[in-house]
Structure 1
Amino acid sequence: MHDDNDTPLPVSLERREQDADQRMFSPSAARNAEPILTVLKGLFPEQGTVLEIGCGTGEHAVCFAAAMPTLTWLPTDPDPASRASTASWIGLRGLSNVLAPISVDASLPVWGVERLAPFDAMLSINMIHIAPWAATAGLFSGAGRLLRGGGLLCLYGPFLHNGAYNAPSNAAFDQSLKASNPAWGLRDIADLERTALASGLRLGETVAMSANNTLLVFRRAA
C-alpha cells in the first residue's frame, strides 16, 4: 500500500451526520495540504485564477484559497458528493475567493469553464492514477487550451520514474489500483512529458514530496 495511505483505495471519507453539513473528510488531505501549499506558494502568481481538477472533499481548495487570498479558486469534480462537500467547506470557511464547485470531466473536449479562461494555473491532486488514461490526456489538452501563456499545470501524486517505482510501497499501491480497475494505475513521468509536449507544455520542476509522492510542474509556452 502507498506510504501513509496518502491516496488509499477506496478513499476513506467520513461524512458528518448533520443534513445541512455535507462536508467530507480525507485523512490524506489533512496530512498533505500544508506540504503542498508550501510548494505552491513559491510557484503560483500573487493574483489570478486557479482551476482545480478533481477537488475531492474540498479541503485542499479551502486550505489553499485561505492561504493565498489574492487568488481566485475554481474547484471542479465530476462527482456530485464531492462538489456538495466542497460547497459546504467553502460556506463554513466563509471564503469569498473560492467559486462554487462545478462538474468537469477532464476526458471531454469541452469542460464548461471556457468563458472563465485563460487561467493562470491549474492543479490536480491524486487524480490521474484513479482515472482512465483519457482523463490524463484530456487534462493536458485542456491545459494547453485554457492556460494563459506561461501558466502552470501542477500534478501531485505517486508516479513511475522512467519505468521504475521510487518505493516498494508504490509498487504495491500500483498493483492494488490495477486490480481494482485495469484502466487505473501510476503514470510514468516520461509518458506525461510526451503528452504535455503535444499540448504545448514542458515539464519544469520535479519536487519530491512526503510519502513517496512527487509534485510535477508543467509550464505552457508563452
Structure 2
Amino acid sequence: MHHTTPPNTQLPFAQACENNQAPILAVLQTALQSSRHVLEIGSGTGQHSVYFAPRLPQLTWQTSDLTDNHPGIQAWHAAQTAPNLRAPLEFDLATSAWPTPADQPGFDAVFTSNTCHIVAWPLVQRMFELVGTHLPASGVFAIYGPFNYGGRFTSDSNQAFDAWLRQRDARSGLRDFEAVVALAKLHGMQLQRDEAMPANNRTLVFRKSLSQ
C-alpha cells in the first residue's frame, strides 16, 4: 500500500490506521487482558503501535517489520513515546527466525494487521507455523484485515480491493476465512472471536490450545 504523509510532518501515514484503531483496540482490550508481551508482525507505518501501547499498559508492545520500514516506525515512536513500546526488530516472513529479544521473556501474544492479503500464501502459512510453534499454551494470535467467507467477497469494495492487489502482485489477495481457521487449527490454535470491523474488515482472535 502507498502511504500518504500528512502536511508538515515526516511521519509515514495511512488513513486506514486512523480509521480502524479504536475498533481494533476494543477487541484487543479483552483478547489481550492476560497478555504481557506482544509481538506485532508487520508494524508498517508504526501508527498502530503508538496507539495501542499506551492504551494497553499491562503489556510490552514489540514492533517488527522489514528493515526498510524501521525509520518510519522509529519516527512515530519518537513523536509519541510510551514506556511499554519497543523499537522494531527486523522480521521478514520469508527468511527470519522467530525473534527472541535477549532482555525480554518470550511472547505470549501476537498481533498482525493487513498482512494475510499482502504477503503470498506460503508466507501466511509460515507465519501461522511460527506463531503456533512459539506461542505458549493459551497464547493469543489476533489478526486484522478483510476476509472472504464461503469463497465469496463480503462487499463490492473488497472485491475491487482484491483485484487491485492481484494486479499489483499475483501472489496476494483476500484469503478465505475458512482456510485461515483451518491453518490455525493445523498449528494448534482455535478461533475464539470473529469481530466485524469498519470498511468490511474483521478482527480474528485465535488461542493456542492447552493440549499443545
TM over 0.5: yes
Contact 1:209–1:215 at 8 Å: present in 2 too? Answer: yes
Contact 1:50–1:71 at 8 Å: present in 2 too? Answer: yes
**1:99 partnered with 2:86:** yes
Contact 1:76–1:102 at 8 Å: present in 2 too? Answer: yes
Cα distance in 2 for residues equivalent to 1:205 and 1:27: 26
Q: Which moved more, 1:189-198 or 1:55-64?
A: 189-198
What per-residue deviation string (whole Å, max 9, x for no partner) do you get for residues 136-163 of structure 1? 1111111112212101111111101120
Quick one: which of 2, 9, 12 aligns to 1:11? 2
Matched to 2:89, the amino acid is I
Alignment of 1:68-107 (within 5 A): 68-80=56-68, 82-107=69-94
Shift of 1:61: 0.4
Unaligned 5+ segments in structure 2 are: none
**1:192 partnered with 2:184:** no
In the superposition, the TM-score normalised over structure 1's length comes to 0.87
Shift of 1:51: 0.4
Indicate how the Cα distance of structure 1 residues 212 and 114 shifts in structure 2: closer, same or farther if over 3 A, else same: same
In the superposition, the TM-score normalised over structure 2's length comes to 0.91
Which 4+ runs in 1 deviate beyond 6 A? 15-18
Alignment of 1:2-151 (within 5 A): 10-14=1-5, 23-80=11-68, 82-108=69-95, 110-113=97-100, 116=104, 118-151=106-139
Shift of 1:114: 6.7
Contact 2:194–2:205 at 8 Å: present in 1 too? Answer: yes
What per-residue deviation string (whole Å, max 9, x for no partner) do you get for residues 24-81 of structure 1? 111111111111111111110255001000101111001000111121000101142x
Cα distance in 2 for residues equivalent to 1:99 and 1:12: 23
Cα distance in 2 for residues equivalent to 1:160 and 1:198: 20
What per-residue deviation string (whole Å, max 9, x for no partner) do you get for residues 106-159 of structure 1? 234613337555312101101111111122111111111221210111111110
Q: Please give the root-mean-square deviation of Cα atoms over the aligned residues, in Å.
A: 1.8
% identical aligned pairs: 33
Contact 1:107–1:139 at 8 Å: present in 2 too? Answer: no
SS of match in other structure, 1:206: strand
Matched to 1:93, the amino acid is Q
SS of match in other structure, 1:45: coil
Number of equivalences: 209
Cα distance in 2 for residues equivalent to 1:213 and 1:67: 22
Indicate how the Cα distance of structure 1 residues 111 and 16 shifts in structure 2: closer, same or farther if over 3 A, else same: farther
